[in-house]
C-alpha cells in the first residue's frame, strides 16, 4: 500500500500564491500531458524527439558521453559506503559519483531501453534506501549545517536533486514494493531532513536554499505531492520571506545578475533551472519563465556574459578560477534558454563549446544550423530592484579575443563577497592581465582542510589589498565587516556608450567613512589605438594613506621609476588586513608618474599612471607568513601616497608582437609618451591629455559628477585627437 507523508501547517491563503504557513492537502499534482512515465525533465515524448535528432553533432556527442558514463558505472556493483570522510575523501567522492551515476544510468535506460542500466540504478537507490534511515549526522560536520551522507547539507540537497530525477526516470518500471522502499527509505526521509531538520537552510535566501527547494519541489512533482511543491515554492517559515519565488526575487537583479557573483551564479543556476523546467513541464499555468519579466532566462544569459572570451568565469568574490562555461550547470541551462527564449541558433554553438549537454525535453530543436555566438559589453544592475550599483563588462569591439574589462561596483555578495568595491579586472584573449585572487580554497582536496575554505580566504583573499582597488589607511573596506558591507553599496554615476567609447563611472562614500571615492573606467578605440583609461579619485577632509594596487601574474618586463630590490632579507609589507601575506620586495622614491609593461604571450601591455600627488611604487609578492603555501605566488605593484584629495589617471595600451618561435619582436615600447592632466576638484569635468610617441595626442574629457549634468557639448565622456 502506498504510504503518504503528512505534515500540517496553519495559515491563510494569500493572493497570488500560498503563504509559508498555508495548510495543503496531500493530493496528486496535475501533469501537462497526463501521460504515464517520467514527469520531470525527460518525458517519453522527449525521448522520441531526441532519438529522431541522431546525426546532429551536439546530440550525438551528448548521447555518446551519456552512454560512456552509464556503461562505466555499470561495470561494477553499486558501492554505498557509510559516510566518514570530508570533501575529497573516499566516501564523499563515492556518494557524489553515485548520485551522478544514478541519474546517468536512469537517463540512458530511458533513451536506450538498456535493462542493465535500469537494474543498476534501481539497486543503487534501494541500497541508499536501506542506508539512509540509519545515518546520524555526518562525523566530519563543522560549522556549516551538517548533512548525513555529506559533511554539509548542501551536498545532501544536490544528491536529492539527482536521486529524484533518477527515480522519476525508472519509477514506471518498478514494482509497487520497490517504489515504496525507495520513496519511504530514501526520498521522503531526505525531504524531511532537508525541509525540517535543517529548516534554517531550507528557508534561507542563499544558493544553499535554492538547492534545498529544488530537491523538495522536484520530489513533490515526481511523487505527485502537492504539499511538497507548495512548500518548495513558498517555504515553511511563517514570515513569507522564503521559498523558490522569494529566492528569485531576492537573489537576482532585474538583469539576472546574482548577488554572490558569477562563480556562485553558475552554481545556483542548476537548481533554479531544473525546478523551473520541471514546473513548466508539469504546471505550465504558473508561467514560471515569465516570472519577473523573464528573469530566469536573463540569469542564464548573464551567466554566459560574465565569462571571458576564453570561457572562464570572472573570478570575483569567493571564486575558483578553474570554472569555465564547460561547467555542467550550463549544460543544463543553455538548452532551457534555447527552448524558452526563442530558439536562438547562436546558442547551439555555445552548447557545442560547453560540451556537457544534458539530454532533456529542452534539447528538442537543436538539429538546426548553429550560428556564431558573440559576447557583448554589458552593464548589469545589481540588487533585487536593480538599485544597488552593478557590474560592467566592457569588451573591445570587432575583436572577439581582445581586451575585456570588468568593473565591480555592486552589492558586497553576502558571505561569499569580497571587500573589493570599485575593483577592476583586465583580460586579453581570455587571459588575466590585471588579476583578482578569487578564493583561497583547494576544492575537494582533503589535505587542505577537507576542501573547505582556508583561513587565508578571510585573512587575505577577501581583503581589499588583494584586489585592484584603492585601500585607505591599510584597512579593508567597511572595516572588514560583512553585515556593514551588505547594507551599503556604491552607485553608478554614468554609463556612456558611443562609437569607439565605452565608459562607466561609479562612486562610493560608505567603504571608508569620510572618504569619497569615484572610479571611471573607459575602453576607447580611436584611430589605430585601443586604450583602457582608468581614473580613480579620492577626496577627504583628512589626510590618509592611499594604496592603489595592480595585481598581475604574467611577466613584467619594465618598470619606471626603478625600484631597488631587496636581495638578502625579506619582510612582510604589514602586520594585518592582508598585508602580512605580502613580501615587501622594495620601494622607490616618490614620483608623480609611473609606468610598467607586461608581456602576455604574444602582446605587450603598458600602464602609464599620472597623479596630482606624489606616490611611491612598492613591489610586492604573495607568500609571506604562508608556511603551508596555501596561497598562490603572484605579484603586485602598489602605489602609495599621503594625501587628502588625490586623482590617479592610468592609461593601458596594447602594443607590439612577440614571437618566441621566430625570435621576432615588434613595437615592444608603448605608443604613449606621457599622460597629463590638470586637477580641478570643483569642476564638473576632468581634462586629460594622452601624448603619443609619434607626436599626436588625444584629449579626453571625463565627467566627475560633482556639478550639473553634462550637456551635448560636454558629455559624460569624450575623446578628440589633436
pLDDT in tens, 357-383: 999 999 999 999 999 999 999 999 999
Whether residue 416 lies in the annotated active site: yes
Is the whole model's pTM more than 0.85, yes or no?
Answer: yes
DSSP string for residues in 156-196: HHHHHHHHHHHHHHHGGGS-HHHHHHHIIIIIHHHHHIIII
Backbone angles phi, psi at 497, to 5 degrees: -125, 125
Number of other residues whose CB lies within 10 A of the CB of residue 695: 7
- pLDDT score of 1: 31
Q: How confident is the model at residue 29 (pLDDT cuts 50, 70, 90)?
A: very low
C-alpha 638 chain-centroid distance: 27
- pLDDT score of 18: 32
- pLDDT score of 26: 45
Q: Please tell me which residue, 18 or 399, carries the higher pLDDT value.
A: 399
Whether residue 264 lies in the annotated active site: yes
Residues 6+ apart with CB under 8 A from 180: 2, 3
Question: Under DSSP, is residue 96 helix (H, G, I), strand (E, B) or coil?
Answer: helix
Q: How confident is the model at residue 707 (pLDDT cuts 50, 70, 90)?
A: low
Q: Hey, what long-range contacts does 375-380 have (CB within 8 A, 24 or more apart)?
A: 375/304, 375/305, 375/307, 375/309, 375/400, 376/305, 377/497, 377/502, 377/523, 378/255, 378/302, 378/305, 379/492, 379/495, 379/504, 380/253, 380/255, 380/256, 380/257, 380/302, 380/305, 380/410
Percent of the chain past pLDDT 90, that is, above it, reads 84
**Among 225, 220, 438, 203, residue whose Cα is nearest residue 314:** 438
- pLDDT score of 452: 87
Mean pLDDT of 461-467: 98
Contact 133, 189 (CB under 8 A): yes
Lowest mean pLDDT, pick from 298-307, 394-403, 632-641: 394-403
Question: Under DSSP, is residue 508 helix (H, G, I), strand (E, B) or coil?
Answer: strand
Q: Which of 92, 162, 208, 416 is catalytic?
A: 416
- pLDDT score of 322: 86
- Cα(545)–Cα(668) distance, integer angstroms: 34
Bond before 199 cis per omega within 30 degrees: no
Contact 265, 302 (CB under 8 A): yes
Q: Is the pLDDT of residue 356 over 90?
A: yes
- pLDDT score of 688: 96
Q: Using one digit for the tens of pLDDT, what is the confidence trace for 658-690?
A: 999 999 999 999 999 999 998 887 888 999 999
Contact 353, 326 (CB under 8 A): yes
Contact 197, 189 (CB under 8 A): no
Q: At what angle do helices 291-305 and 262-282 cross, to 10 degrees?
A: 140
- pLDDT score of 299: 97
Q: Which of 99, 109, 258, 264 is catalytic?
A: 264
Backbone angles phi, psi at 218, to 5 degrees: -70, -35
Helix, strand, coil shares, percent, the chain, to 5: 35, 25, 40
Q: Please tell me which residue, 206 or 545, carries the higher pLDDT value.
A: 545
Q: Hey, what long-range contacts does 139-146 have (CB within 8 A, 24 or more apart)?
A: 139/83, 139/84, 140/84, 140/85, 140/86, 140/89, 140/450, 142/452, 145/198, 145/200, 145/201, 145/208
Q: Using one digit for the tens of pLDDT, what is the confidence trace for 440-457?
A: 999 888 899 888 899 999
- Cα(230)–Cα(12) distance, integer angstroms: 13
Burial call 456-471: b when 16+ CB within 10 Å, e when fewer? bbbbbbbbbbbbbbbb
Runs of H (alpha helix) within 236-345: 244-251, 262-282, 291-305, 328-340
**Among 133, 146, 149, residue whose Cα is nearest residue 189:** 133
- Cα(713)–Cα(722) distance, integer angstroms: 17
Walk me through the domains of the chain, giving residue ranges and CATH numbers.
74-250 (1.50.10.100), 252-375 (no CATH), 378-721 (2.70.98.70)
Runs of H (alpha helix) within 318-397: 328-340, 346-354
Amino acid at each position: 500500500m502506498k504510504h503518504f507523508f503528512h505534515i500540517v501547517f496553519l495559515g491563510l491563503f494569500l493572493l497570488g500564491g500560498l503563504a509559508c504557513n498555508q495548510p495543503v492537502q496531500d493530493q496528486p499534482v496535475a501533469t501537462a500531458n497526463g501521460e504515464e512515465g517520467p514527469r520531470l525533465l525527460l518525458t517519453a515524448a522527449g525521448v522520441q524527439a531526441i532519438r529522431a535528432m541522431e546525426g546532429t553533432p551536439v546530440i550525438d556527442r551528448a548521447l555518446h558521453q551519456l552512454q560512456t558514463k552509464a556503461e562505466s558505472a555499470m561495470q561494477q556493483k553499486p558501492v554505498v559506503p557509510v559516510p566518514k570522510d570530508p570533501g575529497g575523501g573516499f566516501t564523499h567522492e563515492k556518494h557524489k559519483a553515485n548520485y551522478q551515476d544514478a541519474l546517468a544510468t536512469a537517463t540512458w535506460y530511458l533513451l536506450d531501453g538498456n535493462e542493465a542500466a535500469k537494474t543498476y540504478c534501481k539497486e543503487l537507490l534501494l541500497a541508499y534506501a536501506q542506508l539512509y534511515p540509519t545515518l546520524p549526522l555526518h562525523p566530519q560536520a563543522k560549522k556549516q549545517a551538517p548533512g548525513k551522507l555529506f559533511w554539509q547539507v548542501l551536498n545532501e540537497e544536490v544528491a536529492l536533486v539527482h536521486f529524484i530525477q533518477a527515480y522519476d526516470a525508472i519509477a514506471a518500471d518498478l514494482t509497487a514494493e520497490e517504489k515504496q522502499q525507495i520513496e519511504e527509505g530514501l526520498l521522503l526521509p531526505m525531504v524531511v531532513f532537508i525541509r525540517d531538520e535543517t529548516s534554517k537552510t531550507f528557508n534561507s535566501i542563499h544558493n544553499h536554499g535554492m538547492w534545498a527547494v529544488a530537491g523538495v519541489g522536484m520530489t513533490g512533482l515526481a511523487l505527485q505531492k502537492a504539499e511538497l511543491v507548495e512548500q518548495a515554492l513558498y517555504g515553511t517559515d511563517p514570515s513569507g520571506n522564503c521559498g523558490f519565488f522569494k529566492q528569485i526575487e531576492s537573489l537576482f537583479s532585474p538583469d539576472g545578475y546574482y548577488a554572490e557573483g558569477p562563480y556562485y551564479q553558475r552554481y545556483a543556476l542548476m537548481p533554479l533551472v531544473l525546478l523551473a523546467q520541471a514546473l513548466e513541464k508539469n504546471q505550465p499555468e504558473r508561467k514560471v519563465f515569465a516570472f519577473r519579466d523573464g528573469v530566469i532566462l536573463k540569469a542564464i544569459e548573464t551567466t554566459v556574459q560574465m565569462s571571458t572570451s576564453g570561457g572562464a568565469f570572472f573570478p570575483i568574490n569567493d571564486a575558483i578560477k578553474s570554472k569555465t562555461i564547460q561547467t555542467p550547470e550550463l549544460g543544463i541551462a543553455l538548452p532551457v534558454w534555447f527552448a524558452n527564449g526563442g530558439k536562438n541558433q547562436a546558442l547551439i554553438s555555445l552548447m557545442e563549446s560547453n560540451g556537457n549537454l544534458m539530454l532533456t525535453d529542452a534539447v528538442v530543436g537543436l538539429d538546426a544550423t548553429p550560428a556564431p555566438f558573440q559576447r557583448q559589453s554589458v552593464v548589469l544592475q545589481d540588487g533585487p530592484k536593480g538599485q544597488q550599483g552593478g557590474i560592467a563588462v566592457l569588451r573591445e569591439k570587432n575583436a572577439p579575443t581582445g581586451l575585456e574589462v570588468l568593473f565591480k561596483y555592486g552589492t558586497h555578495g553576502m558571505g561569499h563577497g569580497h571587500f573589493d568595491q570599485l575593483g577592476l579586472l583586465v583580460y586579453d584573449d581570455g587571459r588575466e592581465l590585471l588579476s583578482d585572487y578569487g578564493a583561497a580554497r583547494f576544492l575537494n582536496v582533503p589535505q587542505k582542510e577537507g576542501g573547505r575554505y582556508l583561513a587565508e580566504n578571510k585573512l587575505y583573499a577577501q581583503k581589499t589589498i588583494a584586489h585592484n582597488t584603492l585601500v585607505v589607511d591599510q584597512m579593508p573596506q567597511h572595516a572588514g565587516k560583512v553585515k556593514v558591507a551588505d547594507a551599503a553599496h556604491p552607485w553608478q554615476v554614468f554609463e556612456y556608450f558611443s562609437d569607439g567609447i565605452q565608459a562607466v563611472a561609479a562612486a562610493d562614500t560608505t567603504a571608508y567613512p569620510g572618504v569619497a571615492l569615484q572610479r571611471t573606467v573607459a575602453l576607447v578605440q580611436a584611430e589605430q589605438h585601443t586604450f583602457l583609461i582608468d581614473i580613480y579619485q579620492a577626496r577627504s577632509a583628512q589626510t590618509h594613506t592611499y594604496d592603489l594596487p595592480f595585481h598581475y601574474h604574467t611577466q613584467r618586463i619594465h618598470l619606471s621609476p626603478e625600484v631597488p630590490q631587496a636581495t638578502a632579507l625579506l619582510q612582510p609589507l604589514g602586520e594585518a588586513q592582508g598585508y602580512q601575506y605580502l613580501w615587501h620586495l622594495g620601494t622607490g622614491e616618490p614620483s608623480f608618474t609611473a609606468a610598467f609593461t607586461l608581456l602576455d604571450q604574444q602582446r605587450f601591455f603598458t600602464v602609464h599612471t599620472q597623479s596630482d600627488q606624489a606616490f611611491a611604487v612598492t613591489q610586492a609578492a604573495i607568500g609571506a607568513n604562508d608556511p603551508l603555501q596555501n596561497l598562490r605566488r603572484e605579484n603586485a605593484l602598489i602605489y602609495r601616497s599621503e594625501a587628502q584629495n588625490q586623482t590617479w589617471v592610468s592609461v593601458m595600451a596594447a602594443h607590439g608582437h612577440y614571437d618566441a618561435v621566430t625570435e621576432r619582436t615588434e613595437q615592444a615600447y608603448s605608443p604613449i609618451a606621457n599622460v597629463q592632466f590638470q586637477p580641478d576638484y570643483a569642476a564638473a569635468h576632468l581634462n586629460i591629455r594622452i601624448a603619443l610617441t609619434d607626436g599626436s595626442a588625444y584629449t579626453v574629457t571625463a565627467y566627475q559628477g560633482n556639478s550639473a549634468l553634462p550637456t551635448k557639448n560636454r558629455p559624460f565622456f569624450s575623446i578628440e585627437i589633436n
